[in-house]
Amino acid sequence: MSVTTPKGFRAAGVTAGLKSSGARDVALIVNDGPDATVAAVFTTNRVKAAPVLWTQQVVRGGVVRAIVLNSGGANACTGPLGFQDTHATAERTATALSRSSARLLIGASEVAVCSTGLIGERLPMDRLLPGIGSAVRALARSGGPAAAEAIMTTDTRPKTTVAAGTGWTVGGMAKGAGMLAPGLATMLSVLTTDAVAGADALDEALRAACRRTFDRVDSDGCMSTNDTVILLASGASGIEPSQEELTAAVTAACHDLAQQLVADAEGATKQIAIEVFGAASEDDAVEVGRSVARNNLVKTALFGNDPNWGRILAAVGTTAAAFEPDGIDVAVNGVWVCRAGTAADDRSKVDLSGRDVTIEVNLNAGGDRATIWTNDLSHAYVHENSAYST
Amino acid sequence: MSVTTPKGFRAAGVTAGLKSSGARDVALIVNDGPDATVAAVFTTNRVKAAPVLWTQQVVRGGVVRAIVLNSGGANACTGPLGFQDTHATAERTATALSRSSARLLIGASEVAVCSTGLIGERLPMDRLLPGIGSAVRALARSGGPAAAEAIMTTDTRPKTTVAAGTGWTVGGMAKGAGMLAPGLATMLSVLTTDAVAGADALDEALRAACRRTFDRVDSDGCMSTNDTVILLASGASGIEPSQEELTAAVTAACHDLAQQLVADAEGATKQIAIEVFGAASEDDAVEVGRSVARNNLVKTALFGNDPNWGRILAAVGTTAAAFEPDGIDVAVNGVWVCRAGTAADDRSKVDLSGRDVTIEVNLNAGGDRATIWTNDLSHAYVHENSAYST
């Protein structure tokens, strides 16, 4: 049920002392092959963290044998020295791995690096580098769960998944509980598979999967500097699935992780699916769903168990999607409180007492649809994010 | 110090019973001339309230002799019946005014209507229409302050202003404390002047004024369905100012009202000016300022007195503005905590104990600038907006 479920992967999660809590904070995942193909997507934020800049280069090289991840610091907005820190992290990882086994003679250019935590501060390299040594020593076929723990920041629980193919599997882990509005990629997530798949097949599968899963999570409208999703293939199953099978399994894994992210979002009391249909295009549906998901008045209303459909319509009205204002229907948890742009069923029929909320928006403008997942805006979100760095 | 400061205007604010509190809820402003020229800007939200659709038509007619405004209901998303309610409101106002004075023989097509309050519910016309009669009887040269009170919703205080020309003045009032991210226009605001000015001159002055005042308020990123700003000219001073003088006075009035809106925003504990400079264009500066203003993580950090410049950079990074990530400088209340995209002055030097916060962002990409005004995201905002309609 983790990144070590597929054959050919080992992992570890150790405590290097980056987190004051003493919790695990360095994760390492090694691909023992026989293949070492890779695909990745990254944040579209133009302010990119040093590990994102590094890993983009590594992935371009086409071979990734190891990924080292740390929580306790994002290494973003840290300038050239921050980039040197990332480089040193990859170097140390490559060296330690090469010394640990004759079969693992790898270079820094085959080591991806991910970091997460506070933006704008240098990493304590005097603790991180020894932590890498510990992680190499702790590598195990059963190390996936520990690795998933080591990348947590404000997450309250680790997030892992598995999706089964026929004779092969996809495993995965992710972290992310705030600054959660991915553009192209999201947060940190590592997926592994023992399928035989070339880089192009992996890339196609990963982009298709992200587009309809991570990319449609919009917890708080805030795009991170560090978002990275990496998919590694070991080929250890000896089975080469069709592109459709591969894409389906990777999508299932990403979908499960994305749902776990929304379920664990900072301070959330509601897990909200905004299902937009009757759209003239899928892009229109995404634009409308995202506009509703980002609207603080909609989010606070749902926190207050208030099916305030007027705020939903006001959010839809700010978009450029095709629709007529008097042609929009809105349901909250199955009750069509708005039809043709005006009040319909009695809003008092809406039951918002549970955690799950479904908002349906019918634009009555076509046949396309999309779902965006978000959360409410609660006192706990304000509290957590007004106190995070201090 | 209100809409009745300029010569030629009378106003009233009365209680019609639309608000359960018993506070004033119907305002009326009458232009006694000799002129009745007008300019207006409206919300760019495509879901427009009935009074916006009505008043757009009225303003196109070129003559506005009266404006009737109600709080206690937005009359938005109310369908064809809601539009009939607005029409009936204008009709009743025209009839009552025509009966009150032989000098005021006006038609419904010369009466602008504005509404504000909850979206999606019909107005109680059995209370509103009698209230219009009361307002006509209460009209007075000193009625401006009562009118400003009558348009308040979650506002904690009325907002009025005056800007002096040479021998003429501009007066104004506004309301708005939430759903405050105007697109082109904002909230409800009525401006009056006794200057002699044609519709074109008024339009030019009003658009120029709004573009740099109301349009740059972005309190909570949520655009209203009812935003309307109307400028009426009576010509009663007999003085025709130059376009520059007119624009300057209208801009001064709008600026003062915009600042009052930000000062009274729902639940706010901070009044934040985001000053973006070194931009390649004014549009770039506005985009960057707005992105920072809408970022919930920046807003919660400031609520927590935390000069978290990393979140500011992450918000800048989501824009398409011209800049290099390693070329951005950020100051919070005068302390340059970030230079060249990385940590600079000690963040502990930043004093955030007061209500006013200035964030300076130097993009180092050109010579243009813009300021966006916003607020923090507080527990009180969440509380107020999770309980508003219930």
Closest chain A residue by Cα to residue B219: A296
> A349: which 2 tokens?
């029929």
How many CB atoms within 10 Å of residue A367?
9
CATH number, span B271-386: 3.10.20.340
**Are A25 and A60 in contact, with CB atoms under 8 Å apart?**
no
| Cβ–Cβ gap A310/B119 under 8 Å | yes
Question: What average pLDDT does the structure give for chain B?
Answer: 89
Question: What average pLDDT does the structure give for chain A?
Answer: 89
**Are A50 and A225 in contact, with CB atoms under 8 Å apart?**
no
Q: Left (φ > 0), alpha (ψ -120 to 50) or beta: where does A375 sit?
A: beta
Closest chain B residue by Cα to residue A301: B386
**ipTM here:** 0.77
- Preferred mutation among B78, B342, B352, B383 to probe A, highest tally of A CBs within 10 A: B342
What does the alpha-carbon distance between residue A299 and residue A290 come to, in Å, rounded to a whole number?
12
Beta strands in chain A (DSSP E): 9-14, 26-31, 37-42, 66-70, 111-115, 159-164, 169-175, 188-193, 228-233, 271-279, 329-332, 335-339, 342-343, 356-362, 368-375
Helix (H, G, I), strand (E, B) or coil at A188: strand
B390 known member of a binding site: yes
For chain B, give the percent of residues with pLDDT over 70. 96
For chain B positions 67-106, those within 8 Å of chain A (CB to CB) are 74, 76-79, 82
Residue B282: pLDDT band with limits 50, 70, 90: very high
Question: Is it the case that residue B142 has pLDDT exceeding 60?
Answer: yes
Is A269 labeled as catalytic in the residue annotation? no
**Whole-Å CA distances, A75 to A96, A174, A352:** 22, 18, 40
| Cβ–Cβ gap B119/A378 under 8 Å | no
Q: What confidence tens digit (pLDDT) does each residue in A73-87 have?
A: 999 888 899 999 999
Query: Which residues of B does the annotation mark as catalytic?
Result: 186
CATH number, span A9-263: 3.60.70.12
> A79: which 2 tokens?
């300038």
CA quadruple B237, B238, B242, B246: dihedral, nearest 10: 30
For chain A, give the percent of residues with pLDDT over 90. 62
Closest chain B residue by Cα to residue A377: B382
**Whole-Å CA distances, A300 to A150, A286, A353, B179, B389:** 32, 21, 15, 12, 11
> What is the DSSP pairing of strand B26-31 with strand B188-193?
unpaired
- Range among A101-115, B52-66, B200-214 with highest mean pLDDT value: B52-66
Q: What is the pLDDT of residue B174?
A: 86
User: Domains of chain B: which residue ranges?
Assistant: 9-263, 271-386
For chain A positions 306-365, those within 8 Å of chain B (CB to CB) are 306, 308-311, 313-319, 323, 325-326, 328, 338, 340-343
Question: Is it the case that residue A184 has pLDDT exceeding 70?
Answer: no
Question: What is the sign of the dihedral through the CA atoms of A80, A81, A83 and A88?
Answer: positive
Helix (H, G, I), strand (E, B) or coil at A44: coil
| Cβ–Cβ gap A295/B82 under 8 Å | no
Helix (H, G, I), strand (E, B) or coil at B307: coil
What does the alpha-carbon distance between residue A86 and residue A8 come to, in Å, rounded to a whole number?
26
Q: What is the pLDDT of residue B365?
A: 96
**Whole-Å CA distances, B53 to B45, B112, B207:** 12, 10, 19
Q: What confidence tens digit (pLDDT) does each residue in A334-366 have?
A: 999 999 989 899 999 999 999 999 999 999 999
For chain A, give the percent of residues with pLDDT over 70. 96
Q: What confidence tens digit (pLDDT) does each residue in B355-381 have?
A: 999 999 999 999 999 998 888 988 888
Question: Is it the case that residue A221 has pLDDT exceeding 80?
Answer: no
**Are B55 and B113 in contact, with CB atoms under 8 Å apart?**
yes
Question: Is it the case that residue B390 has pLDDT exceeding 70?
Answer: no
User: HSE-up of B306 (CA within 13 Å, CB side)?
Assistant: 22
How many CB atoms within 10 Å of residue B242?
10
Q: What is the pLDDT of residue A185?
A: 38
Question: Is it the case that residue B349 has pLDDT exceeding 70?
Answer: yes
Question: Is it the case that residue B388 has pLDDT exceeding 60?
Answer: no
| Cβ–Cβ gap B388/A308 under 8 Å | yes
| Cβ–Cβ gap B386/A300 under 8 Å | yes
Bridge partners of B223, per DSSP, are none
What does the alpha-carbon distance between residue B155 and residue B174 come to, in Å, rounded to a whole number?
10
**Whole-Å CA distances, B89 to B48, B112, B293:** 17, 10, 37
Closest CB from B341, B342, B386 relative to A303: B386
Closest CB from B120, B222, B297 relative to A295: B222
Residue A214 phi/psi, 5-degree rounding, is -60, -40
Among A257-266, A380-389, B66-75, the minimum mean pLDDT is found in A380-389
Average pLDDT (A178-203) is 76
Average pLDDT (B253-265) is 85
For chain B, give the percent of residues with pLDDT over 90. 62
Q: What is the pLDDT of residue B188?
A: 83
Residue A85 phi/psi, 5-degree rounding, is -60, -40
Question: Is it the case that residue B317 has pLDDT exceeding 90?
Answer: no
Closest CB from A78, A297, A310 relative to B385: A297
